[in-house]
Structure 1
C-alpha cells in the first residue's frame, strides 16, 4: 500500500492510519503525516495532482507542522547553497503596504543567524541569506508568524494555487461587504429622508440599530485583513496603511454608536463603505500585480515535473521527479515533450524547438554528442540523452532563477520612495490629530464635524500609491523584456540603461553573425594539419572555429592521426600557443606572432578581413583569410540607437581594416581595432573618466573584463551559460534588435516610474489639504484612496502598450 504523501510502497501493517477530511489516509511516518496536513491546511492539496504517480522522499520531521520546513525534501527543493550559507525564497502572506515589508525586513534582519533580507512588494517574495548552523527554517517562519504575518516556500509552479487561495479570501470578504453596503444604503436613504420630512425617535433608533448590525460584520469580518496589519503596526510602532484605514473606520464606528444614544447623525454607512471600497481596491491591486507577473510564471509552467530515467541505455526507464535526477543518468524524451535537464544527445539525431530559450522560430537538427538544453521541445521522434547538469544548474532553471532574482535588487529611485513611505503614515496621523485640534478649538465647530474631518484626512492619504510606483513598473518592464527574449539580471538595471549615453560594441558575434568562413589560404610552407587541428580544437574563438570548419569541409581531417600536444596555452583574443615534438606552434593574429619573435615576410598580405596566422617556431607557415557577414538587423538597430542620442563605438580585437569596413557599412564613425581584452577594459575606464554612463554589448567570452567594467554589460545569447555569469543583461535571441529593445524598454519603464511617482505625490499633495479643509467626506476619501493605487497600477500596465 502507498503512503498518502510520498507515494512509496509499504506493508500495510507498517503504515499509520489517520482519519483526515472525512476519510482514512495512510502514512509511512509522522513526518509524511505532518507535511500532508500542512499542505491541506494551506490549501495546497493540488500538489498531489501535480506530482501524479511520482514518488517523494519520506519527510523526516516531527509532529509539529512547522518542523516540515526543516525536512530534507524541503531543503533540497527550495534552498540554495551559497558558500557556507543558505539562500531561501519565501512568499509572505498578509502584506498590504510598504510598511509591512519594512517591518518584516527590520525584524528578520535583527534575527540571529539571518545575514541578509530582501523583500519585493510586487510579489511579496522574501529572499533570505542565513546561516543553517545558527537558525532553522522553521524558526524563521515562527519569527514571521510572531509579528502577525505568515510565509510559505516560493515555488513558481505552485504560485497559481496560492494566488487562487488569496483571491477566494478576498471574494468572500468582498461579497459580505458589498451585501451589507447595498442594504445599509437603503437605511441611509430612509434616514436622510426622515431628516427632511420628519422621523420619530423610535424609528430613528430602529434604523440606527439596523445600520450598526450591517456595519459590524463589515468592520470586523471583511476588515480583518486590515486589523491584522494594524495590530502588528501598533505592536511594533510602525504605522502603515492598515492602521490608517482601521483608525478612520473605527473612529467613525465608535462615534456612530455614541451618536445613536444621543439621537444625533450616525455614519454607519460610511464605515461599511470605507472598508468595502478599500478592500475592492486592494483586490484589484492584487489582480493587477498578478497580471504583471504572469509572463514570468509562464517560464515555469512549461517545465515538466518528472522525467523517465535510467542509469544506462540498457536499463528499464522509470518516471522520477526532476530534482532527483543525477548527472550521468540517461533520460528518455518523447515527441511533444519538453526537455527538463541539460545533457548530451545519445541518439543518432533529434529535431528540437529551442524557441523557449533563444526565440529562434526554426527547429534545430541535433546529431549524436550535440548539446541538449532544458526548455527545448522534442518535435519528430523520441530520443535519449545523458544528463550533464542537475535540474537546478540546467539552462532553463538558470534563466528562471535569473528572472526571479531580477525582482530583488531595487532601483535607486525606489529607495527614495521607500524612505518617504516609511514615515508617511506617522506624518499623516500627526496631521490628522492636528487638524482635529484646529477644527475643535480654533474654529470652534462641533465635535462630530471635527472628528469627521480628521477621519477624512486619515483615510484619504495613500502610501500604497507611492510604494507601488517603482516596483510595479519595474515588474511590468521585466516581463515585457522577457517577451522580447531579453533577461535583466536585476530590476535596477532598467534605471541604469535608461540613463546610458554611450554603447560600446564588440564586432564578432555582436554586430556580425559570428560564423567566420575562410575565403582564401596562402601557404608559405607545407601545412602540418595535425598540429593545427589539435590546437584549434582547444579554442572556442569564432576565428578558430571558422578555420577548423574549413579544414573539415575540405577533407583535411580525414587522414589525420590524432595528435596529443605536449603543452597548450590559451591566449584568448590573440590566439593560442602550443608545444609539440620540440617545436613551438602559434595560431592567431599578427600581434601574437610579433610578441613571440616570429619573422614577418615583407610581402605579407593585409586584406580587410580577419586573418588567422599559423607559425612554427619563428616562421609563418600559412595565412587564412576569413570574413564574417553583418547581422541583418544591425544597421537598422544602430541607426535607431543613434537617433535616440546614444553614441555607438566599435571596439574589436580584429584587424583595423575589418573594423573600418564593418563600421562604414553600419554608419559608426568611431571604431578601434586590434584591442586586447585588457585594452577594451581600459577604454571603458576612460569613458567613465569622461562622465559617460557606458553600456557594452559583447559575446560574453573575450569581452568578460570589459563587460564587468561597464555600467551595463549586455551579453549576446550565443554563449548563454557564460553570458549569464558575466553580464547584467542577456539577449537570448542573439540579435541587435534585442540590444535596441533593451534601451527602449529601460527608458520607457523609467519614464513610467517617474510618472507613477509624480502621480502619487501629486495625489497626496492635492487631496490631503482638501481633506484638512473639510471639503472631503470619509466616504469619498475611501474611494479616492483606492483609486490612487489603481491609477498607479493601471499606468504601469501601459508599458506593454508600445
Structure 2
C-alpha cells in the first residue's frame, strides 16, 4: 500500500485511509478545512514556505476516529463474514496484567452490537466480532481509549517496529531507574552504617535530600507507566496491578518526605527506587519473553511478501497479493516465498516446506506439481498458475486459524482472568487490615512499611500469565512441527484423551492403493470402467483409474444417472449400459453373485448385471506408521482402526501397523456410532481421518485430527490439522498437548503457592518493600521461564 502525504500537515499515511479531495489528500477533515480556508484567504504562499516541514495534525479525536469507518480501512483490515458480521484483530496498547484484559473484555461486552471480544494477554491481540448495523468500529476504538488504553489494527509487518518502539521506551525508563538505584544504594549504605556508629543530623539531612533527588525522577518518570494504569483503573472503578505498585511506591515516597522534613523516623527512598526498578525490569523481561513466544505466530505472515511477479501478455508486473486472481501466472525466483497456492506450468525447482510440515528436506517439484503458500523456492525459476486467491490460500487459512487459536481462551484461563480481576482489590483490603493491626501494635512507621510490603509482594500477573503463556509457546512449537491446533482449548482436551481412533485408508496407509492383480471374466470396453472411475474421488476408484491410464489411452464416454454410495461403490448408465463398480457387498446388494477370499482391497465391475472384471488393490503403510502407533500406545492410549474395507484387508493392515483392535466393513454413519459407543463408555476420543470420507466420525469425536496438507475440507471439519501427513505427527500432537497442560498446572500451582506463602509472610512483617518488589517480579518470570521449558521436549525418531 503506497504512502501519501497530507497536503496540509505533510504527515504520511496509507493512501486507503486518507481523504481524497480532487488531486489533494488529507489525513482528517480538520486538515482539509484549514487547507481550503487558507486558500480562500489568499494565503497560498503559506504552503510554499512550509516546504517539507510537518505541522502538528489537527487535534480532533473524533476526526481521527472516523478513519476506522472508511471503506479503504475496512477493506484492508476488517473481515466481512458470511453471516453479515464484521471481524477484526486489534492490538491493545497499555495492557500490563491479566486484570487489564479482564477490564477491556468486560467493558467491550457491555457495548450493544459486540458479539465477541477476546484478548490474549501474551501478545495483547484482541479478536472482536460486531454487528456493523448496530455499532461502528470507531465507537469500539473510542470506548477502548476512554478507559485508558489504545487500539490499532494488527499488522504482522509492523509488529517488529512497534515492539522496538516499546523496548526503547522501557530502555530509557530502566536506564534512569538503574542509575538512580545504584547511586542511592551507596547513600543508603552510608546511612545504615551511620545508624550504628552515630551520624550528625546535618549530614543525615544532606543524604536524605540526595536520596530524594534520585528517587523523585525514578518514581514519576520510570514509574509513570504504573501511575497511568492506576489512574485509568480508578477512573473505571477498578483496582489493577498498576494501582498496587503505584500505591506502594507513592506511600513510601510520601512518608519518606514527611520523615525528611520533620526529622522524625527513617526515610525509605531507597525502597521507592527498588520497587520501581525491580518491577519495571521484571515487566521488561516479561515483555521480551512474550515477544519471543509470539514471534513464531507473527513470523508466519510478517515475512510474506506483499507483492508477486505476475506474467500478463508476455510482460512482467508487480501485483499486490490481494489483487491476484485464479488463473494468473506467477513467476518465482530462487529465495522467494510462495504466497498463493498454484500448479507449476513451466520450470522446476526444489522447495523448502519446513514452515508447513516441519521437515527440513527440500522437495523437488516440476511441471504439473502443486506448490503451497508458505514454502520457499530454493533454486531455479518457475512459473505457476494460481489456483486460489490469497485469502483462501493455505498460508492465509493457517494464519486465520492460528489467530483464532491464540484469542480463544481455555476455560482455565477464563477463570484465572476473573480471579485476577478481583485479586488486587482483595490484596488492598488485606493491606489495610494489616496496617491497622500493626499500627496499634508498633506505631505508624512500621505499620506503613509492612502494609506496603503486602501491596507490593502480591502478584496477579503470575496467575494471569499461567495459561496464555504456556498455550502460546505450545501453539508455536506445534506449528514448527507442522501441527495446527485451531483453538488453544484443544491442547487441554487432547491432553486428557485416552483413546485414538484411526481411519485406515489415508491415515494409516498412504491412501493411494495400486492395482496388484486383475482378473477378467469376459471381454468388455475398458473405456466404460475408465469413465465410471472418473466420476469418483474415492482412493480405490482413483487407483483403478491410474492403472487403466498407464495401460493405454482411454476416452470418457457419455454417462448419466451417476450415483456414489459411500464406502460401497458407484453406479451409472454409461454408453447405454448399466454399470456397477465397488466392493463385494455392494455387488451382492445389487443381485450379482461373487466370492473373494483375498487380503487386498477389491474393486469389482459388473456391466448389465454381469461380472466382467475384478481388480485387487494394495496400499502401503505410511512412513513409520507402526512405530508411531507403538509410541501412542506407550503413552497409555487405546488405539482402534476403523475401515469400510473387507475383513481380510483390515486384518492385514492392522497386523502390519501393530493394532490389536479394529472394525471392518463400516459405513460412515457406523463409524460415528462406534465413537458414540466409546463416549458412553466414558472415553475421551481422538479421531484421525483424511477429512473427506470421515467427516461424520470426525464431528462426533472430542478431538478431530485431519490428515492432509491444505485440504479445504480438512481445515473446516477438524480441530487439529496435520500439515505433514505422517502418523508420527499424531503422537507429537498428543505429547505437545500433554506437555502444555502439565505446564499450565505447574504455572497455576507456582503462582498460587507464591501468593499463599508470600502474602502471609509480608502480613507478619517478615518481608520489607525491597525484597517484596524483587519477589513479585521473580514470580512472573518463574511462570514465563517454566512455560519456555515446553520448547525442551525431546523427540525420538522412528
**What does residue 534 of structure 1 align with?**
531
SS at match of 2:304: coil
**Counterpart position of 1:700:** 691
Contact 1:5 1:36 (8 Å CA) reproduced: no
Aligned to 1:589: 583
1:509 CA displacement: 1.3
Deviation (angstroms), 1:631: 2.0
Alignment correspondent of 1:772: 763
User: 1:256 matched to which residue of 2?
Assistant: 256
Which one of the candidate residues 644, 657, 671 is aligned to 1:666?
657
Cα distance change, pair 198–134 in 1 and its aligned pair in 2 (3 A): same
**SS of residue in 2 equivalent to 1:614:** strand
Q: What residue number does 2:133 align with?
A: 133
How many equivalent residue pairs? 755
Q: Contact 2:30 / 2:63 at 8 angstroms: preserved in 1?
A: no
The equivalent of 1:387 in structure 2 is 386
Aligned to 1:503: 500
Give the corresponding residue for 2:357: 358
CA contact (8 A) 2:572 2:578 kept: yes
Asked if structure 2 preserves the Cα contact closer than 8 Å seen for 1:659 and 1:671, the reply is yes
Listed as ranges, the matches of 1:618-697 within 5 Å are 618-697=609-688
The residue that corresponds to 2:72 in the other structure is: 73
Specify whether residues 384 and 446 from structure 1 end up closer, same or farther in structure 2 by C-alpha distance, changes over 3 A only: same
The Cα offsets for residues 735-759 of structure 1, whole Å up to 9 and x where unpaired, read as 1110110111111111111111111
Structure 1 pair 19/125, CA: closer, same or farther in 2 (3 Å)? Answer: closer
1:439 partnered with 2:438:
yes
Relative to structure 1, is the Cα distance of residues 687 and 421 closer, same or farther in structure 2, using a 3 angstrom cutoff? same
Match of 2:309, SS state, is strand
Query: What secondary structure does 1:406 align onto?
Result: helix
> Relative to structure 2, which stretch is displaced further, 453-462 or 575-584?
575-584
| Distance in 2 (alpha carbons) for counterparts of 1:575 and 1:286 | 58
Per-residue deviation at 1:691? 0.6
Counterparts of 1:207 and 1:718, CA distance in 2:
69
Residue aligning to 1:568: 562
Q: Does 1:547 align with 2:547?
A: no
Q: 1:56 — aligned with what?
A: none
Q: CA deviation at 1:622?
A: 1.5
- 2:99 matches 1:105: no
Query: Cα 1:4–1:507, aligned 2, differ >3 Å: closer, same or farther?
Result: closer
Distance change >3 Å, CA 295–CA 35, structure 1 → 2: farther
Deviates more, 1:504-513 or 1:612-621: 612-621
CA contact (8 A) 1:303 1:340 kept: yes
User: What secondary structure does 1:654 align onto?
Assistant: coil
**Residue 572 of structure 1, CA deviation:** 3.2
Task: Report the counterpart of residue 58 of structure 1 in structure 2.
Answer: none
Structure 2 match to 1:214: 214
Cα distance, 1:199 vs. partner?
2.7
- Aligned CA distance change for structure 1 residues 6 and 554 (closer, same or farther; 3 Å): farther
Per the alignment, do residues 638 and 434 of structure 1 end up closer, same or farther by CA in structure 2, a change over 3 Å counting?
Answer: same
Q: Is the 8 A contact 2:577 2:607 kept in 1?
A: yes
Shift of 1:522: 1.2
Using structure 1 for the length normalisation, give the TM-score: 0.90
The residue number in structure 2 matching 1:523 is 520
- The answer on whether the counterparts of 2:650 and 2:664 sit within 8 Å (CA) in structure 1 is yes
1:599 paired residue among 592, 596, 606 = 592
Q: Retained in 2: the 8 A contact 1:109–1:117?
A: yes
TM-score of the superposed pair, with normalisation by structure 2: 0.91
Taking structure 1 as reference, are residues 35 and 90 closer, same or farther at Cα in structure 2, changes over 3 Å only? farther
Match of 1:716 in 2: 707
Distance in 2 (CA, whole Å) between partners of 1:116 and 1:102 is 14
Pairwise CA distance, 1:529: 2.2
Distance (whole Å) between structure 1 residues aligned to residue 190 and residue 25 of structure 2: 59
Aligned CA distance change for structure 1 residues 181 and 5 (closer, same or farther; 3 Å): same
Residues 37 and 790 of structure 1, relative CA distance in 2, 3 Å threshold: farther
Say which SS state the counterpart of residue 315 (structure 2) adopts.
coil
Cα drift, residue 705 of structure 1: 0.9
Shift of 1:536: 1.8
Identify the residue that residue 161 of structure 2 maps to in structure 1: 161
Give yes or no for the alignment of 1:725 onto 2:724. no
C-alpha contact 2:497 2:683 (8 A) present in aligned 1: yes
Matches within 5 A, 1:167-182: 167-182=167-182
* 1:230/1:239 contact within 8 Å kept: yes
Structure-to-structure mapping, 1:246-395, within 5 angstroms = 246-263=246-263, 264-310=265-311, 312=312, 314-347=313-346, 352-359=351-358, 361-368=361-368, 370-395=369-394
- In 1, Cα distance between the equivalents of 2:406 and 2:289? 16
Taking only aligned residues, the RMSD between alpha carbons, in angstroms, comes to 2.4
Is contact 1:598-1:619 (8 Å) kept?
no
Q: Secondary structure at the match of 1:308?
A: strand
Question: Cα offset for 1:212?
Answer: 1.7
CA distance in 2, matches of 1:713, 1:489: 10
Q: C-alpha displacement at 1:182, in angstroms?
A: 1.4
**Distance 1:35-1:73 versus aligned 2 partners, 3 A rule:** farther
Return the offset for 1:770: 0.4
Q: Does structure 1 retain, via aligned residues, the 8 Å contact 2:28–2:63?
A: no
Q: Are residues 37 and 4 of structure 1, via their aligned partners in 2, closer, same or farther at CA, if it must alter by over 3 Å?
A: farther
Change (3 A) 1:775 1:570: same
Contact 1:353–1:364 (CA<8 Å) still a contact in 2?
no
Whole-angstrom distance in 2 between the partners of 1:253 and 1:775 = 21
Q: Does 1:188 align with 2:188?
A: yes
Q: Counterparts of 2:29 and 2:308 in 1: how far apart (Å)? A: 24
In 2, distance between residues paired with 1:35 and 1:536? 62
**Residues 4/537 of structure 1: CA separation in 2 closer, same or farther (3 Å cut):** closer
